[in-house]
Amino acid sequence: MFKGVLIDWGGVLTTGLAEAIDEWIEADRIDASHYRDVMRELVLHAYEGAQDGENPIHALERGEIETLVFERDLAARLVTLDGVPPAAEGLLTRMFAGFRRIEPMYDMLRAMRAEGVRTCLLSNSWGNEYPREGWDETFDAIVISGEIGMRKPEPRIFEHALGVLGVEGRQCVFVDDIEANIVAAGTLGITGVHHRDHAVTIPHLESLFGFPLRTP
């Protein structure tokens, strides 16, 4: 039944965002409580309140503003334990430096390709550099928001990804860690898998596709 899979990067093919953020907060001596208040408002609005207008996250994820512009905006909203804003330049690189590859997820994607399933990375970028080693053997297509001027959860980015893969929505599964993105994909008939941990996601995908995806 399923011929394709769309899959997120940060927090799905990597360790969790919360872990990376905690590592950065400690390294940069960020006021953690203040940071979470700021980001809660920005992210909630970016993914669930877009009807009320846009904020800098929308523009960043579509590649409409330079990374340093966003970093300066975000740094001005934050404060360190020393009572001053953190250094703006390189802020996002430092924030995401704690991401680590989840190898079983990459093994799973390669197993899918071996069975003829088409695979596509579908990621909202924050001006960050992706570690692309081994991607040629993992993905049939790569769709990164800042490179194409669209972002999740906009339906058009899912339509674009489906077109690139050459599959219909009902033939595709989408794996993401943000519920709003799963809901948006569902409007196009795409089956969503809300990722929380690879030990749960991989068996779930095995049940959907009907063949083993774990290395013996």
What is the secondary structure of 106-119 as a DSSP string?
HHHHHHHHHTT-EE
Q: Find the Cα–Cα–Cα–Cα dihedral 122, 128, 134, 138, rounded to 10°.
A: 0
Answer whether residue 51 shows pLDDT above 70: no
- Dmax of the chain from CA atoms? 56
**From edge to edge, which strands make up the β-sheet containing 172-176?**
141-144, 118-123, 4-7, 172-176, 191-194
pTM, full prediction: 0.92
Answer whether residue 50 shows pLDDT above 80: no
Pairwise pLDDT comparison (185 vs 40), residue with the higher score? 185
Do 143 and 160 contact (CB within 8 A), yes or no?
yes
SS3 173: strand
**Distance between CA atoms of 192 and 182, rounded to whole angstroms?**
5
Check if CATH label 3.40.50.1000 holds for domain 4-15+100-209: yes
- Average of pLDDT values for 134-142? 96
**Distance between CA atoms of 52 and 213, rounded to whole angstroms?**
42
Neighbours of 198 (CB within 10 A): 18
User: Where along the chain do its domains lie?
Assistant: 4-15+100-209, 17-95
pLDDT of residue 49: 60
